[in-house]
Chains A and B, each alone.
Chain A
Amino acid sequence: MPMEQKQSVATRTSIYLALIIVGASMVFPLVWMLSTSFQKPGTDVMDLRSLLHGALEWRNYQRIWSGTNFARAVYNSALVTVCVTIAQLFTSTLAAYAFARLQFRGRNAIFMGYLSTMMVPDVVTMIPVFILLRTMGWIDTYWALILPAAFSAYGTFMLRQFFLSIPRELEEAAVIDGCTSWGIYLNVVLPLAKPAIAALGILTFMSSWRSFMWPLIVCQSQNMVTAPVALSQFQELHGVQWTLLMAGSVIMLIPMLAVFVIGQRFFISGIQLGAVKG
């Protein structure tokens, strides 16, 4: 309700108070995670006072990084996430360009059929894909983590929406200049679509980095686990050590926070773009 011109001081104060209370409830658990990760290893009873006068303990970080398979798991996660993001951007921009700009028979029918695959729950395809990968001997390899995640109907849909909003005149000028469709895709559409591509890249990066269920199913060995799976296994392998687990959790959050801070404006617009029904 935009009534900015006559908000009383009391209204403003109570709005700020509400915002601060909610904001604090969002931030405080994360602060708790951070402070626990800097406690003396093996500390179990959490004393609020130790939050204040405790010196920073890096030992949890040292132990999880060099005493366990976590560093390897972070490397696996990073590799898989980068590959999945690049692959998805590649396949999605190409298909979105064809759906948005090229004329061919049955285009709309194919697009609708393609969109309807978004309704298929992951658990439906999970079982046959697992069997397929097992037949190929790809369980516990990077293929199993990367290939099934390299194609995204959502990404194609989102980029198509954006491509449709690019004025055609620019491309027509390029055609007159003798550009092929490939040249237009590469030199006109892709540069203009940078914000949407960035948004999709960020969303893909984040969902791949945090993905848990599929990596849990296909990669169980100590060398092949991704970081989320490794963290979930620590409870079973090393007993519940909260200081260690929280250190691992903090390490996992750093890339996501970094990506969010760098790409915040693309991120928000990406959510809105994806929600526009075509």
Chain B
Amino acid sequence: MRHHHRLTPLLYLLPNLTGFAIFVLIPVAAALVLSFFRWDLFHPPKFVGLDNFIDLLGWRRDAEGVIHLNDAGFWKYLYNTLYLMLAIPITMFCSLVLAVLLNQKLPGRMFFRSVFFLPNICAGVGLLLLWKFLYNNDFGLINHMLAWVGITGPDWLNSYNWSKPALMIIMIWGSMGGTGMILYLAGLQGIPPELYEAAEIDGANVLHRFRHITIPMLAPTTFFIFITAVIGGFQGGFDMAYILTKGGPDGATTTLSYYIYNHAFEYFNMGYAAALSLVLFALVLFVTMLSWRFGRGATE
């Protein structure tokens, strides 16, 4: 349309861009400024230069040459965040298998698609409370059922070693039938059937065809799902840990976003929390740029 006044586009963009300026652009700049201050909201902010970042990322060596991290918690929670992300490849594999099963032209497949999608629909605090109940050591169904087959289950959510796998199980259960599966299904439907027919004539069996046709043809889909999940993974874990474990036991399930929440809204270290959030932002940016770099190679 070339028949509009010069300022017309502005009117359409104004509501959205104003909101973005106030709630995204300016806050990002403000977070940057805030990260150079020490501020508890109640006293005047104090400029501290790069101290927040040094306290966060730095280390020192003592007389014996042993390295002491300034904030051992940060590294531990970064490790936790990465550990929980191990659920991503497992989830994606399950999504792919489910998509392949649903791609068979069988009656009832739409019904199963909806059933697999159900945990996604129900996601939220209610579902997390349900899992807290299921994992409960005294009244929980999971250990109850394990006992039937003679296994004494761990006290999942109160165990340093089992709490992370417990959360990963929820993540896998909750998202294997979700967005990833839907996108894989769409991807599968885009593979030309002639490819399979040609391979069959050449004597390729089901597994061969899966490995040499399905997986390469789905590479762009896999790449997209993976990158999206990793970017989400760096920022995730708060709701689940807050409801099920309060980040415990002994910080075993505290993720970066939980740590930021604690600093900002429990201890009111606004400057330190802002610095933390910028480090998280840098990690996300790094992954995004890696994905641009390698994404071109994978899809073109």
Contacts and interface: CB of A to CB of B under 8 A. Distances in A.
A223 interface: no
A67 interface: no
Interface in B1-49: 1-4, 6, 8-10, 12-13, 15-17, 19-20, 22-28, 30-31, 34, 41
Interface residues of B, number: 95
Interface in B115-133: 115-119, 121-127, 129-131, 133
B182 A272 contact: yes
Given A129-B23, A212-B239, A16 B119 contact: no
A253 B16 contact: no
B75 to A, nearest CB: 18
B196 A1 contact: yes
Most A-side CB within 10 Å, residue of B24, B210, B239, B288? B24
Chief secondary structure at chain A's binding surface: helix
B173 A26 contact: yes
**Chain B contact residues: helix, strand, loop or mixed:** helix
B210 A249 contact: no
A244 to B, nearest CB: 10
A130 interface: yes
A1 B100 contact: yes
Identify the interface centre among B1, B15, B100, B281: most chain A CB within 10 Å of its CB.
Answer: B1
Given A94-B13, A217-B265, A102 B27 contact: no
Interface string B257-278: 1001100110000100110011
A101 B8 CA distance: 12
A224 interface: no
Interface string B78-109: 00000000000000000000101111111010
A40 to B, nearest CB: 14
Contacts of A237: none
Top 6 nearest A-B pairs by Cβ distance? A249-B126, A151-B19, A210-B124, A128-B30, A128-B27, A98-B12
Interface of A: 1-4, 7, 12, 15-16, 18-19, 22-23, 25-27, 29-30, 32-33, 36, 44-46, 90-92, 94-95, 97-98, 101-104, 107, 110, 114, 117, 119-132, 134, 147-148, 150-151, 153, 156, 171, 175, 180-181, 184-185, 206, 209-210, 212-213, 216-217, 227-229, 231-232, 242, 245-246, 248-250, 252-253, 256-257, 260, 264, 268, 271-272, 275, 277
20 contacts: A26-B115, A27-B115, A29-B173, A33-B126, A103-B2, A120-B281, A121-B280, A124-B31, A127-B27, A127-B273, A150-B19, A151-B23, A175-B3, A212-B238, A213-B257, A231-B126, A231-B129, A245-B133, A256-B124, A268-B182
